[in-house]
Amino acid sequence: MAEKLSAVKGMNDIAAPESAHWEWLEAKVRALMARYAYRNIRTPIVEPTGLFVRGLGEVTDIVEKEMYSFEDRLNGEQLTLRPEATAGVVRAVVEHNMLYDGPKRLYYFGPMFRHERPQRGRYRQFHQIGVEALGFAGPDVDAEQIAMACDLWAELGLTDVTLEINSLGQIAERNQHRQALIAYLEQHQDQLDEDAKRRLYSNPLRILDTKNPAMQALVEAAPKLMDYLGEESLAHFNRLRALLDAQGIAYRVNPRLVRGMDYYNLSVFEFVTTSLGAQGTVCAGGRYDGLIAQIGGKAAPAVGWALGVERILELLKAQNLLPAAPVPDAYAIIPQAEVLPQVLQTLRALRQTGVQVQMHATGTDSYGSMKSQFKKADASGARYALIFGDSEVAAGQVAVKPLRAEGVSLHEQTLQPLASVPTWAAMLLPA
């Protein structure tokens, strides 16, 4: 016997009935995106490594420690499984000159890859749904995207999701704050953990996002970026706040909110929950006005967010909001193989009207007893059994028997004509 192979640790199979929850969530998102006039984009899973080094920043955790990178054996090109989607979307926009006729609103679904220790809500292959609005400079689109996420939580029925916002200003403002922050942290090096010491000169802003309880008082007293923002940056942030207030969207200004990628500027935001333990961020994003030029395009502003599908599904599960597993409308019971031609013809006609039908099948010419087939019909969750008995089929009919009481008697079995399926198919559909 050949050795049994397993999936890579942290890269999970998604099968029924769980996959139905993914389809349900994706359908909700597609409908929401259509209402906001966002259009779908699909980019490759593999991109040039330089795209992420240039786009995310060489000293970010993602680039330094988490990317799955390799050399193409055919041409020696350095390639990487995408750890996030924004850089790839921007690369596609630049490569295909998508902004030639004006700004674009885009959204995506897909798997991302980061080499880290798998834990609840954090996997090596994980999935994101995200939006990107490119070519829009004002805070109106920032507010629109935040409202879009809030609409999604409401549509899903989610509670315990709160919004935190901040402004990172512009590069010159961050550089002034960076110098003050380094000077402050240098005076307290004895209180820094190893991770903070490693980041002190390469990426000190990320130290403010530490989860180490022993450093909380230190970072709370650190210089705040908001105090270094210029007039334009403050005006953008205050306008965003006013637009959120006008929509009745609650938020908390979190001066320690910095995000993990170097490309962010001005508005940044996160939606967080207390229901998932340490993995509390379920959706995050912000403005990245410099990234398009950084990747080789003509300078243009942009803003976007991404949500973690696994985390949203975990949150829906924790709040008992996931839908029931889908069940067929009807189950076809086949006493004899001889009636199979009529069965297949009838079921195809039913499916063409929108009825979901599961056909009894065994892989052999023996279909088993009626009793065993009825057990399988009941286990399928179907509301009706379609019984293709010899006498019924000979008379050009099929027996339709209710399996679950939904305003009908379980004894109200009827005979329906095989020749005119569309006239009675609707009775099998849910109300």
Low-confidence ranges of the chain (pLDDT < 70): 58-60, 121, 260-261, 363-365, 405-411
Which amino acid appears at position 79 of this protein? L
The dihedral region occupied by 286, where left means phi > 0, alpha psi between -120 and 50, and beta the remainder, is left
Q: What is residue 264's predicted lDDT score, i.e. its pLDDT?
A: 87
pTM over 0.85: yes
Percent helix, percent strand, percent coil in the chain, to nearest 5 = 40, 20, 40
CATH says 330-428 is which class? alpha beta
pLDDT digits (tens, 9 = 90+) for 336-380: 888 999 999 999 999 999 999 999 987 666 778 889 999 999 999
Six-digit token string for 138:
């004002």
Q: Residues 6 or more apart from 77 whose CB is under 8 A from it? A: 48, 71
* Look-up of token digits 């000077």: 183
* 296 close to 50: Cβ distance less than 8 angstroms: no
Q: Does domain 18-169+229-318 have CATH number 3.30.750.24?
A: no
Q: Residues 6 or more apart from 409 whose CB is under 8 A from it? A: 402
Domain ranges of the chain: 18-169+229-318, 330-428
Q: Name the residue among 252, 233, 178 with its Cα closest to residue 208.
A: 178
Q: What is residue 188's predicted lDDT score, i.e. its pLDDT?
A: 87
